Amino acid sequence: MSKTLYVSKEFTFDSAHRLHNYEGACSQLHGHTWRLQVTLCGRANPVTGLLIDFKDLKALVELHVIDVLDHKDITEYFDRLNGMNTTVENLSEWIFNTLERVVLAQQCELYSIKIWETPSSCAEYRKGG
């Protein structure tokens, strides 16, 4: 029987955003310290015992997500990119889609993205359900 291993790494970044088509305080520009959890799955390398080296995962996430979003007005960035409303739900899907392409080269799969907008509010995105 094949067993699947799951590993996760967490990151934080700071950025500002505002919500379009929303009535309330969040329609105004405001900032968050976002907490991001990236979970990969697969089978550990039989030689090293690793699914992925955490330093490699850190480098991928920093290059493709953190460096893009940290200390930025992400509403402005996504308005230029694709007009995406910067809800935590949409961010979780965008981060998943962004990382899914680069993680495959590591011989494992992206399982989920979980992102907290506040310490008690988050969204999770998993492909296929």
pLDDT digit string, tens, across residues 73-98: 999 999 988 889 999 999 999 999 99
The pLDDT, as a whole number, for residue 129 is 57
d(CA 125, CA 47): 31
Q: Does the pLDDT value for residue 68 go beyond 90?
A: yes
Task: Considering only the C-alpha atoms of the chain, give the largest distance between any 2 of them, rounded to a whole number of Å.
Answer: 55
**2-38 residue pLDDT tens:** 578 999 999 999 999 999 999 999 999 999 999 999 9
Give catalytic residues, as residue numbers.
26, 71, 117
Task: Name the DSSP class of 66.
Answer: I
Which CATH number does 5-126 carry?
Answer: 3.30.479.10
Specify whether the CB–CB gap between 106 and 52 falls below 8 A. Answer: yes
